[in-house]
Amino acid sequence: MIAGIDHFVLTVRSVEATCDFYQRVLGMRRLDEPNRPTALLFGSQKINLHEVDRTFEPKAKRPTPGSGDFCLVAAVPLAEVQASLAANGVAIEVGPVERTGARGAMMSVYFRDPDDNLVEVSEYRLT
C-alpha cells in the first residue's frame, strides 16, 4: 500500500538557521512558496519546516524542536559527507558504524542539527 516517503516535518526554533545548516552541510535546496511551509529539497523528497511559534495545520499533537531522529541516504560516498561535516565544524557523535536499513547493510554517521535533532546519514554497502 505504501511506496515511499514524500516528506516529513521538523519543528524548528529558526527556519533560517535550519536552512543554513542543511544547505551548507548537506547540500539541500531551500524552497519558499507563499502560504506554504519552507521546505528543504533533496533527491525526490523534502523536509517541511515549521517554526515553533508559526506552525501549519494540521500538525503533530505536540510539535517540539529537537524531537526528530531520522536517517538520510547519501547520494555521494560517506567519506564526502564526513568531509563536509568536518569542514563545517559538525561533530560526528557515532560512526561510521554498520547498520541495517530498509534495503540491507549500510554504514552510518550520526550528528546533531541546530535543534539537536539526531541526523543519521548512511551509505548502502555494495552487494
Contact call for residues 122 and 107 (beta carbons, < 8 A): yes
Element containing residue 125 per DSSP (H, E): none
Cis before 77? omega within 30: no
How many Å apart are CA 78 and CA 98, to the nearest integer?
A: 12
Cell of 112: 546533531
Whether 120 is catalytic: yes
Contact call for residues 115 and 9 (beta carbons, < 8 A): no
Catalytic residue among 33, 80, 120, 123: 120
Annotated catalytic sites, by residue? Answer: 120
